[in-house]
Amino acid sequence: MSYISDMRKYIGHAPMLTAGATVVVLKEKKLLLTLRSDTHTWGLPGGAIELGESLEETAARELMEETNLSAEAFRFLKLYSGKELHFIYPNGDELYTVTALYLAENVTGELRVNDGENTDIGYFAADALPELEPRAAMITGFIAENGIF
């Protein structure tokens, strides 16, 4: 069970504030994206922090859980917060998130969907991006504008 799942038992679908990490993985000028099973849109690996974790530990755990990849290091890029990070899941759960964006460095492992949160995974060129989940679109714009991708 996760912290968010535990809290949902008490607050139902009401708005909740969470913190988490999102991970940018690049390979040969292509961006790694995961196809979300809940919204059927593409996003970046990442998720909510668990009790006692650092944001870097969250980035590493989420990267492994969602992609089967690990990174030697995570370089901090930007902190996101505010109404742009408000999200309502298809089941009605509502979140406001504070998200630390990291660039994964020296990535290793065999790419595969590793959890039930995603149904597909792949690398995409900047000129061939699929339909992105709104938060992923915002982050992708930032990394493109700053020459990271």
Domains and CATH numbers, the chain: 3-145 (3.90.79.10)
User: Which of 1-10, 19-28, 87-96 reaches the highest mean pLDDT?
Assistant: 19-28
Instruction: Count, in order, helices (H) and strands (E) of the chain.
Output: 3, 9
pLDDT in tens, 97-147: 999 999 999 999 999 998 888 999 999 999 999 999 999 999 999 999 999
Q: Say what the pLDDT of residue 52 is.
A: 95
Look up the pTM and report it.
Answer: 0.93
Q: Which helix (H) or strand (E) holds 141?
A: helix 134-145
pLDDT of residue 98: 97
Is-contact 47 58, C-beta < 8 A? yes
114: helix, strand or coil = coil
Residue 2: the pLDDT is 85
Compute CA distances 12 → 16, 17, 135, whole Å. 10, 13, 23
